Amino acid sequence: MGRRLSGLPRRQRLVGLWLLLSGISLFGGAVFALWLDSLFHPQGLARWVLWLGCFSGGGTIFLVGLLLERQLFTPLRHLQVQLARLVANPDAREDYPPEGWLRGLGPDLVRIRDAWRADRNRLATAHAEGARSAARIRQELETLLQVLDTPLLLCDHHRRLLLFNQAAESLFEGHPGLGLGKRLDALLPVASLQEALGQLPDDGTPREILVPCDVRWLCAILRRVPGSNGETLLTLTDTTAAWTSEMGARGELVDTLPLLRRHSASLTSAADALSSLRPEGESSELRQRLETVVEEESLALGRDIERMGALIEDMQRQGERLVPLWSNDLWDALNERHAGEGRSVVPIGMPAWLKGDATALLVLLGSLLERLAEHTGGGDIEGEICLGNKRVYLDLVWRGTPLGERQLADWSRTPLEALPLVPRVGDVLRQHDSDAWSLADPDGKHARLRLPLPATERVGAPRPRTPPRPEFHDFGIADLPPPDAELAGRSLRALEVVAFDTETTGLELRRGDRVISIGACRVVNARLLASDVFDIRVDPGRPIPPASTAIHGLTDSDVAGAPPLHVALPRFRDYIGEAVILAHNAAFDLLAIQPAGGGVTFEMPVLDTLLLSRALDEGIDGHDLDTLAERYGLMIPPGARHTALGDARVTAELWLALLPRLEARGFDTLEQVLALQATAFDREDASA
């Protein structure tokens, strides 16, 4: 069993010893009473006294044990639970006031607790007053960072991420290398970037470098933050579209220009030669050859000019200002823009993606609404998106007659003064390789104006915008030990911890039960990151028993189409990175994610909150997750229990509650805690 932490004996041992001594005493008293009774044959009162005397020892032991249990041992256990809760959470409620023979400690404990809380309140008030100005500035900075469209990364001198904004999260969506405390080379493993970071001047002079990222090219501007401890700021720009345009339509256009110049020179030379020929009959053969050259070059020039026109149209369609737009967002922005004018568009039909210059389209549609208000007399306008073969049709529908060709021609010449250089409506339409025409609906009551716009390959509604998160930055990471420092000697608060949990088809993992869900969350710098999570469902390849569904709520339809375990495990391993893993009853979850032939090994250190709680509080019963959550006052959101991600978050919060208790007992490093954890590991855990 190994060395046990000193403390109260287990309740089961005390009860067993008490009952054993009582039983032996009572049995011995009965045997002794039978022997005396057969030897002396007492009668009446003497016989009663003999039997009572022989049973008095066992009865006394039983009664004394019962008295000690109620008046001493139970109050001591309650006191230990209350003290453990106060150490983990000084503001925890008091469920077990001193009782029994410890009742006299009540006023003293209340005084100590109140004085402790009063000191904490005074410190908190002083800290709040001193940090209020800094908090306001930080809040403004965080808000500014979230609304910036430019992706930002800040890393320390060990190249760990200290800060990233929402634009960076969108740019690297789904990338396992993005996260506070993670190494920059896990996100952008480019040797040239690492070399550039090592050569940056300390005065903040920027350096620009192109970095490949999957199928994209990013333009990274690097700056060393002046006066810092080697922190570096990276601003990123996706230049893929610009390079595609330069190397695509624009490149072909550049290649076409020499051809046009050659044809033009040939035509000029042929024309000069023809003009200098003698009258017909003297050089008829040469004249015929020159006419043939002029004809061929003219045809070739015509073809190349057509090609140039097509390339120019491609450039307009591929313009950098034409970006994917969600139609509902376009309608909402248009209605907000003209809310004070009493003009709005009611979206109908199915929304879809289109490609366009949002600013130019909003101004153009605003001009069109003004024309339609004059044409319809202020009637309702509906907006509908229709999908064509290669185009998306933006239709404005009204009750009445179509617009005439003259009206459309006048409208196309309307200047749009709200745009730079005051282009006309026709110029904006050409920018989108578009035109406009009006037609009547089949019902004979409605008409519409149709604008064909470039299509995009995106499908499905856009993901809801993630609200600003408190863990987009943590400058305390810069004070952590270097990433290559010995892990065993690292302090507990400097550990990067990934808490995880699994849900399975059953508890018999060695008899065919499989994983159906993996959930995990990350603790960095002793802080639980609220949204840095891993949550995936897994196809177990077998039906989920109803008894298991009753616990975790997952059915066969919930995991239909989910990736199998051999696909999910590498993703989970990438999410863990270089962190220590944490679980409650880790033996079960480790067995679940390391099946035979799984192909992924988890060789990092493992912390187990079940074993740690058992080692810290050997004399207290109840080390399951629900009991410990209740003991330490942890809040479990409704519906989160018995879900992989929900249980992982509770386990992470439990780890943070155990931290101050471990530190109070001198367990400051990972090596020490692993040794403590090993003392609570027994055969029952090994077979779990």
154, 129: one domain: no
Q: Which of 396, 421, 454 is the last residue of a domain?
A: 454
> Tokens representing 208?
């620009």
507, 634: one domain: yes
CA distance linking residue 311 with residue 264, whole number of Å? 19
Say how many domains are in the chain. 4
| Burial (CB count within 10 angstroms: exposed 0-12, middle 13-18, buried 19+), residue 677 | buried
Question: Are 357 and 316 within 8 A, CB to CB?
Answer: no
In the prediction, which pLDDT does 138 show?
Answer: 66
Bridge partners, 477 (sequence order): none
225: Cβ–Cβ under 8 A, 6 or more apart, which residues?
154, 204, 231, 232, 233
Band (649; pLDDT cuts 50, 70, 90): very high
Instruction: Look at residues 428, 430, 452, 448 and name the one whose alpha carbon lies nearest to residue 439.
Output: 448
Whole domain around residue 20: which residue ranges? 10-147
211 lies in some domain: yes
In the prediction, which pLDDT does 687 show?
Answer: 37
388 lies in some domain: yes
pLDDT in tens, 265-311: 777 776 666 666 555 555 577 777 777 777 777 777 777 777 776 66
Lowest mean pLDDT among 150-154, 230-234, 286-290: 286-290
347, 380: one domain: yes
Band (104; pLDDT cuts 50, 70, 90): low
- In angstroms, the Cα distances linking 558 to 426, 457, 536, 545, 561 are 51, 28, 11, 13, 9
126, 203: one domain: no
Strongest mean pLDDT among 85-89, 147-151, 367-371 = 367-371
613 lies in some domain: yes
Bridge partners, 534 (sequence order): 520
pLDDT in tens, 474-496: 555 556 666 666 788 888 998 99
Res. 1: pLDDT tops 50: no
Question: Does the CA dihedral 23-24-27-32 come out positive or negative?
Answer: negative
468 lies in some domain: no
Res. 121: pLDDT tops 90: no
Question: Are 604 and 577 within 8 A, CB to CB?
Answer: no
pLDDT in tens, 412-464: 999 988 877 788 898 888 878 888 999 998 888 899 999 999 888 777 777 66
CA distance linking residue 221 with residue 151, whole number of Å? 11
Cα of first residue to Cα of last residue in the chain, in angstroms, is: 17
Band (126; pLDDT cuts 50, 70, 90): confident
Query: Residue by residue, what is the 3-state secondary structure of 217-276?
Result: EEEEEEEECCCCCCCEEEEEEECHHHHHHHHCHHHHHHHHHHHHHHHHHHHHHHHHHHHC
> Tokens representing 624?
């399951």
pLDDT in tens, 7-49: 444 556 666 677 777 778 777 877 777 787 777 777 777 777 7
616, 483: one domain: yes
Q: Which residue has the higher pLDDT, 20 or 112?
A: 20
Q: Which residue has the higher pLDDT, 592 or 637?
A: 592
In the prediction, which pLDDT does 6 show?
Answer: 38
459 lies in some domain: no
> Tokens representing 400?
């009445």
| Burial (CB count within 10 angstroms: exposed 0-12, middle 13-18, buried 19+), residue 208 | exposed
Q: What is the pTM of this model?
A: 0.55
- The mean per-residue pLDDT over the stretch 385-393 comes to 85
The CATH number that applies at residue 539 is 3.30.420.10
206, 153: one domain: yes
77 lies in some domain: yes
- The mean per-residue pLDDT over the stretch 383-404 comes to 88
Alpha helices in 276-326 (DSSP H): 284-317
140, 163: one domain: no
CA distance linking residue 219 with residue 208, whole number of Å? 7
Res. 3: pLDDT tops 70: no
Helix (H) or strand (E) holding 362: helix 358-376
119, 158: one domain: no
536, 670: one domain: yes
84, 137: one domain: yes
Q: Which of 320, 349, 371 is the last residue of a domain?
A: 320
Res. 569: pLDDT tops 50: yes
pLDDT in tens, 535-551: 999 999 899 999 888 88
Percent of the chain at pLDDT > 70 equals 81
| Burial (CB count within 10 angstroms: exposed 0-12, middle 13-18, buried 19+), residue 107 | exposed
- The mean per-residue pLDDT over the stretch 652-679 comes to 90
Question: Are 607 and 655 within 8 A, CB to CB?
Answer: yes
461 lies in some domain: no
CA distance linking residue 475 with residue 679, whole number of Å? 36
The CATH number that applies at residue 312 is 3.30.450.20
394, 282: one domain: no
Instruction: Look at residues 68, 81, 75 and name the one whose alpha carbon lies nearest to residue 106.
Output: 75
pLDDT in tens, 336-358: 888 777 788 999 888 888 888 88
Q: Which residue has the higher pLDDT, 460 or 673?
A: 673
Q: Which of 273, 302, 320 is the last residue of a domain?
A: 320
Sheet strand arrangement including 345-348? 345-348, 381-387, 391-399, 446-454, 437-440
DSSP code for 419 = S
The CATH number that applies at residue 351 is 3.30.565.10
CA distance linking residue 519 with residue 379, whole number of Å? 53
In the prediction, which pLDDT does 276 show?
Answer: 67
Question: Are 612 and 677 within 8 A, CB to CB?
Answer: yes
392 lies in some domain: yes
510, 551: one domain: yes
